Structures are given as C-alpha cells and as structure tokens.
Copies of this chain bind each other. A is one copy, B any other.
Amino acid sequence: MGKTIVIIGLGLIGGSMAMALRGFEDSRLVGVDTDPETLRFAVERGAVDEAAENAETVLGRADLVFLCLRPEGIIRFMEKYAGQFRSGAVVTDVAGIKGAIVAAARCLPDTVEFIGGHPMAGRETSGIQNADGRLFRGAHYIVTPSEKTTPSALALMERIARHIGCRDLVQTKPEEHDEIIAYTSQVMHVMAVAICDDPVLFRCRGFEGGSFRDCTRVAALDVPLWTELFSLNAGALTGVLSRLEGSLKAYREALETGDRESLSEKLRYSSDRKRHMNLE
C-alpha cells in the first residue's frame, strides 16, 4: 500500500490536484473540506478515496498533506493544526505567494517537513465543479526548498510534478518567487481588471480580437483569493505597477509629442526584448 495523501480544501485547485494525483504510486487520497456538498461531489466523481469534514480525524495518518486553501486559510490551518501532523509527514501548499506561507510554516514542529509549492495553473472559475485533472499539464511547478529540505521530499515533489503533467519542477527562494510572480502573474491580473474599468468596455463587442480576449480573460477573477494574493505581496506588486505606469507614460508622451522616430525606437527596443525572451 502506498502513501496516504490528505488534501485540505477541495476547491478548483485542491479538487484538480486530487484528480491529477489519481494513480500516483498506489497512494490513498483523502479529501478534507468544510462543505458536505463538495465532499459528496468529490467522492461521487472518484476524486478521492475518502472524505472528511474535519482535518483532525485524518491528519494523524497523512504521509503527505496538500494545503489547498486560500493563502491566509493555509496560514491559519498550520497554526491551528501544528501539533496534529504525523511525525515524518511532508507538508506542502499550492498558494500563489510564498514568503508569507513559508514564514508561517515555521510554527510546524521539527518532526514535520514543509516545502512550499506553487503549481502555476488556474482558471477563471472556482469550486470542485470546475476542477479538472488536466489543469496542471504543461505548467511550471515551483517549489521553495530550504536548507533543511531533504532530498527525499524534493524527489517526491519531482515525481508528483511529473505525474500531474507539469512541464518541470522549478526551484527558487520564497522572496524571489514573490518578486517574479508579481511580474509574470499578479500585474497581468491587475492590468486585466484595470482595462475593464474603461468606459469603452461595453461598446466594444464586435471590435475585439485575440489580444483583447487574451488580456482580459483573467479579469473575471476570484475576488477574495486575489485580494489576499495582492495584499500579501503588496511590496513587490506596487513596485512592478510603478514601473509599468512609467513605461506606459513614456509611450503616451512619445505619442503626444508626435515624435515618430522616438516612438519607433521605443517599439524596436521593447519588441526586440520580447523576441529575445521568446517563450516556447
């Protein structure tokens, strides 16, 4: 018999993780959620082998725990259940910020090994009804091992990333994760919502092309989740936003002066950077 994997929180990500973990090394999947409807759905769909409303009843036999709540839910969970994890358990999470999570994980006893994780996948929907075992395919799985992380815990994360179809396992430090993610993910979401505040929005049907659909796709976001993600990374995010405002202003001024050569030079510079940073 393989490991017992307990998934705390069966929302979009927790539910998808359960479905994606199916067949992983003969493990037994236990789902925990406060919503009985969610648990019934998870069992009926075969997402988990066992469902529990209360983490206390199952944490003691978990070899691996996936914390799939919102960031502050994860922090509160660790504080509340710190003493109830099985000795030798590996605990990981899926939150889109890592600094605050990794700091909070210091409340866990030394008998437990915590490794921060962020599988870079999501949807503009939430809940297990929208969960999909293929959600992580092709995504980067970022982890933030510390100097205490054991090779076996890291190897386990590698095997999980491969099993759920991720493109790779990327190792970084929590602070570096948060700084870069403010750029590659958070500011994309701020741009998407900010552009939807424009009064032209409701006149644009019939005039939208690929770039508009792509950019605004993520604007229908989960408000409580992104309020937490943005707030817990406000320093890095406001930095990126300031720089973006500056870049946009420079483009606007080049347009206002009517100086085509300077506009053309700016476009050459930026588009060359993009070509150089080509992402397959």
Contact = CB atoms under 8 A, between A and B. Distances in A.
Interface string A196-219: 111111111111111111111111
Nearest to A96: B209
Contacts of A219: 270-271, 273-274
Nearest to A249: B245
Contacts of A213: 279
Given A243-B198, A244-B198, A271-B219, A207 B263 contact: no
Interface of A is mostly: helix
A264 interface: yes
A209 B279 contact: no
A216 to B, nearest CB: 6
A138 to B, nearest CB: 9
B201 A179 contact: no
A190 interface: yes
Interface in A151-208: 168, 170, 172, 177, 179-181, 183-185, 187-208
A103 interface: no
Given A227-B264, A252-B245, A258-B234, A207 B184 contact: yes
